[in-house]
């Protein structure tokens, strides 16, 4: 019933808070200091990310939007195996689902037989998405899940009566290290049955300046998004980070395709983290590494599929060739 569902959601929230504490405790004593980007998405962080997606400098969302809109009918043919088969659309890291709604609308219009199962680490983003999808597509069957990728993968049954199509859009894959990415697809591969699919949005390597600007936008949205992590730690762990004493810095290394976000301490200072009884010293100019956003080559993507037991059966790019949505078939 509803109570059970709410209890489960609360357990997830409690668990996420525990992992934030753990992350802060271990990450801020490392050299260099680090925090994980998975904690960006509290209510305010999710809102800031929505603003980033509308920024003229953050090309990723527009590129992927163009791809999904252009190739929605071809994607549906992939998803139904050309045979109007029923399927479950499981979306990992659904966020506000803006791009996915292009597909949902078209699939509903085409009377495809499918259910939508969005998974997201942000309860706020998920609530909004569920309300929105219910209003726009009242007849669509919805199975939302508040969780992180790791747990949701573990919950993915190794057998299902309905064909599953996993969506992992928006270059969320970019947050993984190369090893984590292999591990992620390996776990998916282990749980999917032959013929089941994964559609992933990969940001492609391109002129380094284009990438650098996307994470250093003119309106300071990425900066605010990055700094919000400190505000969250202040609120949830009783810390006293002075946000004005930290700056945002982005690096892009075109040799390995890694964009990295950092917070930079503007002065020598000490931060107290009440809930952890912890004192964290910062030197002037010292950094906290907060995010990796990896960019891929086509060869890397094909190798990733091959290494983890998938076959690339679809490759869709936008008109600028900035981004690719790629179908992996188990
Ligand atoms: C949501 C992980 C795809 O890495 O591009 C946007 C998050 N970080 N601006 C990305 C983000 C800074 C975004 N992902």
Atom of ligand 1 nearest to the CA of 170: 3
Q: 125 exposed, middle or buried (CB, 10 Å; 0-12, 13-18, 19+)?
A: buried
ipTM greater than 0.95: yes
Q: What is the pTM of this model?
A: 0.93
Give the residue with greater pLDDT, 17 vs 4: 17
- Mutating to test ligand 1, I would choose from 213, 291, 295, 296 the residue with most ligand atoms within 8 A of its C-beta, which is 291
Give the residue with greater pLDDT, 244 vs 150: 244
* Mean of pLDDT over the chain: 93
In whole angstroms, give the CA distance from residue 193 to residue 159: 7
Spatial contact of 28 and 288, defined as CB atoms under 8 Å apart: yes
Residue 13 — pLDDT band, cuts 50, 70, 90? low
In whole angstroms, give the CA distance from residue 65 to residue 81: 23
Atom of ligand 1 nearest to the CA of 226: 12
- Mutating to test ligand 1, I would choose from 37, 227, 250, 296 the residue with most ligand atoms within 8 A of its C-beta, which is 37
In whole angstroms, give the CA distance from residue 273 to residue 237: 6
Whether the per-residue pLDDT at 95 is higher than 90: the answer is no
Q: What is the mean pLDDT of residues 69-74?
A: 98
215 lines ligand 1 (CB under 6 A): yes
172 lines ligand 1 (CB under 6 A): yes
Q: pLDDT for 14-46, tens place per residue?
A: 676 678 999 999 999 999 999 999 999 998 999
């Amino acid at each position: 019933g509803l109570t059970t569902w709410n209890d489960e959601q609360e357990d997830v929230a409690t668990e996420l808070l525990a992992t934030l504490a753990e992350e802060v405790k271990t990450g801020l004593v490392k050299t260099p200091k680090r925090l994980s980007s998975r904690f960006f998405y509290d209510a305010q962080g999710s809102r800031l990310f929505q603003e980033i997606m509308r920024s003229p400098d953050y090309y990723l969302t527009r590129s992927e939007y163009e791809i999904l809109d252009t190739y929605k009918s071809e994607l549906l043919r992939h998803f139904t195996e050309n045979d109007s088969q029923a399927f479950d659309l499981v979306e990992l890291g659904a966020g506000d689902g803006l791009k996915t709604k292009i597909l949902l609308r078209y699939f509903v219009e085409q009377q495809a037989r499918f259910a939508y199962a969005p998974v997201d680490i942000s309860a706020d983003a998920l609530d909004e998405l569920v309300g929105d999808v219910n209003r726009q597509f009242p007849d669509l069957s919805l199975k939302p899940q508040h969780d992180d990728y790791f747990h949701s993968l573990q919950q993915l049954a190794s057998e299902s009566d309905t064909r599953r199509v996993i969506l992992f859009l928006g270059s969320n894959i970019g947050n993984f290290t190369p090893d984590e990415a292999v591990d992620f697809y390996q776990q998916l591969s282990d749980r999917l049955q032959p013929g089941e699919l994964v559609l992933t949005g990969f940001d492609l390597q391109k002129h380094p300046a284009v990438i650098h600007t996307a994470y250093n936008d003119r309106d300071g949205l990425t900066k605010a998004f990055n700094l919000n992590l400190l505000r969250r730690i202040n609120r949830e762990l009783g810390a006293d980070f002075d946000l004005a004493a930290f700056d945002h810095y982005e690096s892009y290394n075109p040799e390995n395709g890694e964009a990295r976000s950092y917070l930079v301490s503007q002065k020598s200072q000490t931060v107290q983290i009440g809930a952890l009884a912890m004192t964290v010293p910062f030197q002037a100019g010292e950094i906290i590494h907060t995010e990796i956003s990896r960019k891929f080559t086509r060869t890397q993507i094909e190798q990733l599929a091959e290494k983890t037991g998938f076959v690339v059966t679809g490759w869709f790019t936008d008109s600028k060739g900035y981004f690719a949505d790629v179908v992996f078939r188990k």
